Amino acid sequence: MNNSNYDYDLFVIGAGSGGVRASRIAASLGAKVAVAEDRYMGGTCVNVGCVPKKLYVYASQFSENYRDAVNFGWDKVTPGFDWNTLRDNKTKEIQRLNGIYENLLDGNDVDIVQGRGRITGPHQVDVNGKTYTAKHILIATGGWPYVPDFQGSEHVTTSNDVFDLEQFPQRVIVVGGGYIAVEFAGIFNGLGADTRLLYRGEQILRGFDQEVRDFAAHEIAAKGVDIRVKSNIERVEKLDDGSLRATLISGEQLDADLILYATGRVPNTQGLGLENVAVNTNDKGQILVDDHFQTDQPGIYALGDVTGGMELTPVALAEGMALAKHLCGNQPVNMDYDNIATAVFCQPNIATVGLTEEQARDRHDNVDVYRSAFRPLKNTISGSPERTLMKLLVDRDSDRVLGVHMVGPEAGEIIQGIAIAIKAGATKAIFDSTIGIHPTAAEEFVTMRTPVTAD
């Protein structure tokens, strides 16, 4: 397929989830493809995101498992935790995944170029002083942690570095209220650190269903995370012993061994040479694209976190596949962003698909809410006070299920299956006619018969 006027049919900047998927599919369709990567194969998700985060979540849950086991007849033990073992085993797994990603590209004859790609013209990319030409250029450079500018901000840590700390911190302050902040607060708390979560807003997890936010915040706090809302740091100073002292806007001072800022992510566009072409961004720095992922510069495309939208690995993967099939297989781009399931791997887990109650009431005249909050069977013996919340939102006029929400163990695993039903347009009658698996928590979703509120 290679157009002889160019070195490549497609040159991709960024070997993350979206970039690798687009490269691999385009090459499998006959295109000559190259990928430039200046950091690590697999991007944020594999290296400093979803994968290591989930591994650390698993590690942090064992402390609770040990406590739960006692009333089931297991001897009480006080296990020791070794940070170095977790960190180094995580690193080995990530290195294995890096190799898999590289092999995926090599196996499809995709050329890997080490270095930061800089666009120098509509069909030109410079990497380490060498110029490559391409019919199509794809920007898939993802996002980068954002830290606001304040006195002492150089002393704080971001999610890029937190997985590889030399020593485990005994006192941790996490700043932020989104899923990354909440997940790391749970990780450090579960691993034994004295953990505080500071958020400047009214309640953590903005954008989620309000009842889910309130329920999750209560359960997270009950596990030991000190949640401080309407709170923020004014300055940070490093003390003589190496620890950090945070002065809050209230004037209160808190000492910690680690201050983790998880206050959002920004598009990773620095040094890309966007000023050399007609690639435009919005006020958040996100690259503007049309429904076919094309920027304002014909022949240059962007997808994934660098464009904003739903910053989720599976979304970037789907976008990468759609673009490759469009450019190299003449297929229309048909992305559907409705009813994409998401999960927060805090403790307990949160998972959701579809509309929040607030969104449902805003868009539909008659909404029925079905809710079940209960203490799971395991906890009746373990002694854990943790409760589970399950919630269905139904359009009374059509009987269609508009949203499903859960706070509780394995919420992500449960909601993934339910997301298929929601995508298929399931009605409440279909949920009701489905026979549950007993005894499971998931069966609650097919046994809720009476709405708790109705407009």
Active-site residue identified among 123, 155, 292, 438? 438
- In this structure, is the dihedral angle defined by the CA atoms of residues 418, 422, 423 and 429, taken in order, positive or negative? positive
- The reply to whether 324 and 399 lie within a common domain is no
**What is the Cα–Cα distance from 247 to 269, expressed in whole angstroms?**
32
**What is the Cα–Cα distance from 9 to 185, expressed in whole angstroms?**
45
- The reply to whether 250 and 274 lie within a common domain is no
- The reply to whether 285 and 380 lie within a common domain is no
- The reply to whether 239 and 307 lie within a common domain is no
- The reply to whether 78 and 29 lie within a common domain is yes
Position 315 in a domain: yes
CA distances from 69 to 10, 375, 379, 388 (A): 55, 17, 10, 19
425: left (phi over 0), alpha (psi -120 to 50) or beta: left
Position 429 in a domain: yes
Position 3 in a domain: no
Position 24 in a domain: yes
- The reply to whether 158 and 134 lie within a common domain is no
CB 253 within 8 A of CB 247: yes
Q: What is the dihedral of CA 153, 265, 14, 351, to 10 degrees?
A: 140
Question: CATH number for the domain including 378?
Answer: 3.30.390.30
Select from 243, 263, 283 the last residue of a domain: 263
**What is the chain's alpha carbon radius of gyration, rounded to the nearest angstrom?**
24
Identify whether 348 is preceded by a cis peptide bond (ω within 30 of 0): yes
pLDDT at position 3 is: 55
**What is the Cα–Cα distance from 98 to 284, expressed in whole angstroms?**
30
Map tokens 């297991």 to a residue: 74
- The reply to whether 309 and 362 lie within a common domain is no
Count of domains for the chain: 3
Task: Provide the domain limits for residue 169.
Answer: 153-263
Position 455 in a domain: no
- The reply to whether 323 and 360 lie within a common domain is no
- The reply to whether 20 and 120 lie within a common domain is yes
- The reply to whether 278 and 253 lie within a common domain is no
Question: CATH number for the domain including 136?
Answer: 3.50.50.60
Select from 235, 263, 291 the last residue of a domain: 263
CA distances from 131 to 26, 107, 120, 127, 378 (A): 21, 24, 8, 6, 61
Residue 292 designated active-site: no
Give the angle subtended at the CA of 236 by the CAs of 232 and 238, to the nearest 5°. 155
**What is the Cα–Cα distance from 336 to 193, expressed in whole angstroms?**
41
Position 351 in a domain: yes
Q: Cα 371 to the chain's mean position, in Å?
A: 26
Give the angle subtended at the CA of 227 by the CAs of 221 and 147, to the nearest 5°. 135
Q: What is the dihedral of CA 56, 57, 62, 63, to 10 degrees?
A: 100
pLDDT at position 78 is: 87
- The reply to whether 277 and 368 lie within a common domain is no
Position 21 in a domain: yes
- The reply to whether 108 and 185 lie within a common domain is no
Position 352 in a domain: yes
Residue 240 CB coordination number (10 Å): 5
**The overall pTM is greater than 0.75:** yes
Select from 263, 288, 318 the last residue of a domain: 263
Q: Mind giving me the DSSP string for 377-430?
A: HHHHHH-----EEEEEEEETTT-BEEEEEEESTTHHHHHHHHHHHHHTT-BHHH
Amino acid (1-letter code) at residue 244:
L
Instruction: Name residues of the chain where pLDDT drops below 50.
Output: none
Residue 416, burial from CB neighbour count under 10 angstroms (0-12, 13-18, 19+): middle
